[in-house]
Structure 1
Amino acid sequence: MSVVDGVVVEGASLPGRQSDEGSGGRSTSRARLTSQARLTLVVLLVAQFMLAVDFSILNVALPVIGKGLGFSLSNLQWIGTAFALCAAGFTLLFGRVADLFGRRRLFLGGLAVLGLASLVGGLATGPGVLLVARVFQGLATAAVTPAGLSLLTTSFPEGPSRERALGLNGALMSAGFTTGAVLGGVLTDLLSWRWSFFINVPVAVAVLAVAPMVISESRPTERPRLDIPGALTVTLGLLAVVLGFARAGEQGWSDPVALGALAAGAVLLVVFFFVERVSSAPLVPVTVLRRRTVAVGNVAGILAFVTETSLVFLLTLYLQRVLGFSSLAAGLSLGVLGLGTVLGGVLAPRVIARTGTRVALVGGALVQAVATAALVALGTGPAGLALLLPAGFVGGVGNMLLIVGFMVTATGGLPDHEQGMAAGLATMSQQIGITLGTPVMSAVATGAMVTVTTHGILTGVRTAVAVDAVLVLVTALVAALFLRTAVE
């Protein structure tokens, strides 16, 4: 028995079995967390859950906010877009900054900014103040999420303890997105939309009070210089891509602004790749980008979050516009999906320990694809809800197996000094997936609607659900074909 990084390890490893991540062998040991490690895990998971809730907590409240603060209908979407642009566009940059200047320092600083921005947002008296608050909430999310994830991966040694931590993290991140929709409806109906902002403040204060006592600073002994050209090209490229997809979801795929932003984003990301090839201190080393587990893991991550968040949007549209549910009732109905993700997060580390990450990725994607495909049969009567509830639960379990498999794959087998960068890549994939899911599937559903009647909306939802299921199958195919069990 020994203690490694706050984990009590009993047993030995089997060198004969190799992992999907190419780490050279899986452990058959049992890992028990010390009380210090448990407290560290709780602090990090609470912060990550709060960030996930923020992505969806305002969705239900948008019309009420628009009326209360005087947003025009055309500008209302910027409440979400301003947050999403910063959260996705700056994630990779802040992930590397965490490596260079200290993960705990960035984690705590980002939480302080998030708490202050949430307070300002809740007290806002006009559109300008609210949008500024949303920008800073997005920037804080871009800082805290990769810093928190890299602290999580470096606080627990690679193997069962890290897989368990990532499983819980993935479950809470996914459940947080669903919880946000429910919580936003409850707070708006019972109190005020302002509490969708205020609720962050006490949580941020509590984490800031406890975190310095339980989380150790983590940064390299020698600080390399920051890759400014790489940081500029990747940040501007991601901002352009996210803006392009958001604009396409609102104005259609023929919108010149959307097409121009997407083209500019693609060019900038290509430039970023070539900048990294010649940089002496690259933001993301090309050797890491070429690593099969990193590349495939992040592709799977983007698709996992695109399909999950877009399905939540489609099912909300179905429940409200086809079955006539209120916003609160629709949110509560989607709670079964959140319960499925929690169960999936608990099961994922066990599945990975017994079968490997590749099986968890492919198996989870197949389970999610089957459950999603079943939703194509949704109708206009009560039977639709009877189908949605079990299919949503099973799909949530499968999606979480896929997400945890992606997290373990994308961050496994890398040294600690690259964990912030790997966590930044994984978080960027997560943020991009969350950001793009709704506008992409909204455009698909809208394009398939012949009319805006109940049957027309149902046709659009069914079409988009079918596309969603196909994307999950593509994820399973990518993981099955390009992830190998041998050491790379």
Structure 2
Amino acid sequence: MVPPSSLPSPGLFKPICLIATCTMAMLVNVINITCVSISLPVIGRELGIVETQLQWLVSAYALSSGCLLLVFGRLADLYGRKRVFIAGSSWLAIFSLACGFAPGSLSLQVLRGLQGVGAAASMPSSLGILAYSFPLGQKMRPVAFTTFAAGAPLGAVIGMAIGATLTQLSRPSWRSNFYLSSALTVFYIIIGIFTIDPDELSHETDRRVDWLGAALVTAGLVLIVFVLSDGEIAPQKWATPYVIACLLLGVILLGAFLFWQHYLESLQHTDKVSSSFLTPPPLMKLSLWTRDGGRFAAIMMVALFDWAAFTSWYFWAQLYYQDYKGYTPVLTMVRLFPMFVVGVLCNVLMSFIVGHISLKWILAVGTTLTSCATLLFALIDPNASYWVFGFLGACFSVFGADFVFAGGTMFVASIVLPHEQSLSGALFQMMTQVGTALGVTISTIVFNRIRLSEVTHDGVAAPSTPGLQAYKGAQWTAFTFGILATVLVIVSLRGVGVISNKSGLDEPSSSEVTNLSKDDAHSQIPAEDPEKGNDAGGQAGESERFKRAVGT
């Protein structure tokens, strides 16, 4: 396998098209969420879906796309990122179109779940493609990752604006959103076929897939995310028997997955490894979380807490404007529009500063500003001018999400092996999905508990002014998540410098692998200076690196 650093530099047109392809995948993924969210009332009226069940039109997509990320990330690294990207995107296009023809509520919910499977395949492979196509040292690497991250705010504004317009003005109404999503997906598939380099399969000698581990982690995540999504709307809320049973079973399955991965990884150091399907390489080596002195795990937790803060703020800000202030969806979108503009500017700024400022301080500033947004809405005065609380909150909110996504994915890509790029990207995106579910769920619990305390003795809801405390309580919860992310950045990312100066781990040669344990060869190798990777000094450094890995 040709190391990424030795690949010839392509012309400018091809890499721009490649970046555009991966960014469009991110953009369409977000559109598939926001365009449906804004059209939920219309879908509910047309298909006769009760309000408590409408959320599953959004949750079904997030459930399948989030819980299958890890499996598809591993498959992309093993069998080819381009193959998985094209196959997943094609699946997404087919089922996006099918959603537009759904005859009823149940069929639409099922199709939304199937639609999410395509996103689960295309998103981690997108990050793997970018990491492989733009290795450390290339000037376009920061541009590639920050542009990809910019697809999220762009997708959000396009999904909300066009989704609302098509739902209200087109004859197919909400179905037009799915037709648009399918067309956009087909468009970037065609570009990707011609611009993404052909796959080079992983050099790993043992290319079996840990299907048992895949089943355990997928089932466990599905049950836990389901509980987080359904716990507050279940008949008896969190005391509902099926909610308790799903939560316990989900925790048990995830525990079994971790134990199974530890067992498989330990076998790699012994002579007990065989060709049996019962002893494949682990789906996710637990030692991966200890990379770079545990900073891999730290950046994952930062992503979880930051997304919990950001999505909670966004969720309750929308409800505050529509339910408390009584604004229409269009007026709400206008008040939230600054966050989309600032989101794009954040990614442009990130592409310039990531090579000059320590990642620690970039992430610390981002998570702090997101915390400030939640604090502004936790202290909001409904009678004050929009420019005092609303405008500043919308501007500050996206800094953490954009800085953490762009910087976090670049950092992770720089400390994992080439054959782990899509898997690590899948883990990062999975943590943001779990953070989203966790943040909205816990803030909803706080909101509901405060609302219960605001009900008068005759069962009539309290006046609107006391009701403001419930929205503030939810935002205080989001603020807690944001502060946790900031503290974690400051404490755990000490010593992390400018990210573009960090070097990823190189693939060891087959002869070196025979003399190293797989864990040593894959996870104990220190980073080298990318500027020296191809000269004689770099080769000597590589040899010295392997000696240090085995302690000789």
Could you tell me the TM-score, scaled by structure 2's length?
Answer: 0.79
Aligned to 1:387: 389
1:133 counterpart = 2:111? yes
Q: Which residue of 2 aligns with 1:188?
A: 167
- The equivalent residue for 1:22 is none
Structure 1 unmatched ranges of 5 or more: 9-32
Tell whether the 8 Å contact from 2:306 to 2:400 is kept in structure 1 after alignment: no
Q: Which has the higher contact order (CA 8 A, sep 6+)?
A: 1
Select which of 207, 212, 215 maps to 1:224.
Answer: 207
Give the 5 Å matches for 1:56-71. Answer: 56-71=34-49
Letter in 2 for 1:207: Y
Residue 461 of structure 2 corresponds to residue 462 of structure 1: no
Q: Matched residue of 1:354: which SS?
A: coil
Partners of 1:142 and 1:398 lie apart in 2 by 23
| Aligned pair partner of 1:171 in 135, 140, 150 | 150
- Tell me the amino acid that sits aligned with residue 242 of structure 1: V
- Matching of residues 394-433 of structure 1 within 5 Å: 394-433=396-435
* Match 1:471 to one of 456, 475, 481: 481
Deviations 1:128-185 (A, max 9, x none): 3212210111111111111111111111112553232222222222442354334332
Residues 106, 147 of structure 1: 8 Å contact kept: yes
Report SS of the residue matched to 2:233.
helix
How many angstroms apart in 2 are the aligned matches of 1:6 and 1:325?
55
Matched, 1:367 2:345: no
Q: How many residues align?
A: 462
Q: Distance in 2 between matches of 1:306 and 1:67?
A: 31
1:307–1:6: structure 2 CA closer, same or farther, 3 Å change rule?
A: farther
Matches within 5 A, 1:127-166: 127-159=105-137, 161-166=140-145
Amino acid in the other structure paired with 1:248 = G
- Provide the rounded CA distance (Å) in 2 between the counterparts of 1:384 and 1:257: 43
Letter matched to residue 461 of structure 1: Y
Cα gap change, 1:217 to 1:448, in 2 (>3 Å): farther
Residue equivalent to 1:233: 216
Question: Does the aligned pair in 2 maintain the 1:298–1:410 contact within 8 Å?
Answer: no
Residue 441 of structure 1, CA deviation: 2.4
Q: Give the number of the structure whose alpha-carbon radius of gyration is greater.
A: 2
Rounded Cα–Cα distance in structure 1 between residues aligned with 2:423 and 2:227: 25
8 Å contact from structure 1 (residues 187, 195) kept in 2: yes
Q: State the distance in 1 between where 2:399 and 2:20 align.
A: 22
Q: CA deviation at 1:72?
A: 3.4
Deviation of the 1:5 alpha carbon: 4.7
What TM-score do you get using the length of structure 1 for normalisation?
0.89
Once residues 445 and 161 of structure 2 are traced to their aligned partners in structure 1, the CA distance between those partners, rounded to angstroms, is 24
1:408: how far off?
2.1
Tell me what 1:75 maps to.
53
Instruction: State the alpha-carbon separation in 2 of the partners of residues 154 and 345 from structure 1.
Output: 21
Structure 1 residues 259, 6: closer, same or farther in 2, change over 3 A? farther
Output aligned runs, 1:425-444, within 5 Å. 425-444=427-446
Distance, in Å, in 2 between the alignment partners of 1:259 and 1:410 is 35
| Letter aligned with residue 107 of structure 2 | V
Equivalent residue number for residue 282 of structure 2: 282
Amino acid at match of 2:399: V
1:107 CA drift (Å): 0.8
Post-superposition offset of 1:475? 0.4
Q: Distance in 2 between matches of 1:434 and 1:390?
A: 22
Residue type at the aligned position of 1:301: A
Of 65-74 and 125-134, more deviation after overlay is shown by 65-74
Instruction: Report the equivalent of 2:231.
Output: 248
Instruction: Rate the CA distance shift 1:392–1:315 in 2: closer, same or farther, 3 A.
Output: same
Instruction: Give the one of 242, 248, 252 matched to 1:257.
Output: 242
1:162–1:35 CA distance, 2 compared to 1 (3 A): same
Q: Spell out, residue by residue over 1:318-353, the C-alpha distance to the aligned partner (whole angstroms, 9 max, x if none).
A: 111122110122123211111121111111233321
Contact 1:171 1:400 in 2 (8 A): yes
Q: What is the one-letter code of the residue matched to 1:411?
A: A
The residue identity in structure 1 corresponding to 2:489 is A
> Letter of the aligned partner of 1:276 in structure 2?
Q
Say which of 344, 348, 351 aligns to 2:350.
Answer: 348
CA separation in 1, counterparts of 2:320 and 2:7?
47
Q: CA RMSD in A?
A: 2.2
Q: Deviations over 1:184-204 (max 9, x none)?
A: 322222221111211112111
Q: Name the residue aligned to 2:26.
A: 48
Deviations 1:199-248 (A, max 9, x none): 11211111121111100133314461001121111111111110110012
Q: Does 1:197 align with 2:207?
A: no
Task: Give the Å deviation of 1:266.
Answer: 2.1
CA distance in 2, matches of 1:443, 1:85: 20
Counterpart among 329, 333, 336 of residue 327 in structure 1: 329
Percent identity, please.
25
Deviation of residue 288 (structure 1)?
0.6
Q: Is 1:483 paired with 2:493? A: yes
Distance 1:187 1:435 in 2: 28
Deviations 1:291-326 (A, max 9, x none): 223211111112222222221111111111122110
Kindly indicate whether the alpha-carbon contact (under 8 Å) linking 1:5 and 1:156 is maintained by their aligned counterparts in 2. Answer: no
What SS does the corresponding residue of 1:414 show, helix, strand or coil?
A: coil
Deviation, 1:282, is 0.5
State the partner residue of 1:215.
196
Superposed, 1:26-41 pairs within 5 Å as 34-41=12-19
CA distance in 1, matches of 2:476, 2:14: 46
Q: 1:188, 1:168 → 2: CA distance?
A: 29
Report the CA distance shift for 1:4/1:330 in structure 2 as closer, same or farther (over 3 A): farther
Contact 1:411-1:426 within 8 A present in 2 as well: no
Q: Give the distance between the partners of 1:6 and 1:465, measured in 2 at CA.
A: 50
CA distance in 1, matches of 2:159, 2:469: 27
* Contact 1:339/1:396 (<8 A) preserved: no
* Cα distance change, pair 178–266 in 1 and its aligned pair in 2 (3 A): farther
Distance 1:315 1:179 in 2: 19
Unaligned 5+ residue runs, structure 2?
A: 265-279, 456-460, 497-525, 528-552
Mean Cα displacement is larger for which, 139-148 or 362-371? 362-371
CA positional deviation for 1:444: 2.3
State the alpha-carbon separation in 2 of the partners of residues 481 and 256 from structure 1: 40
Partners of 2:6 and 2:397 lie apart in 1 by 36
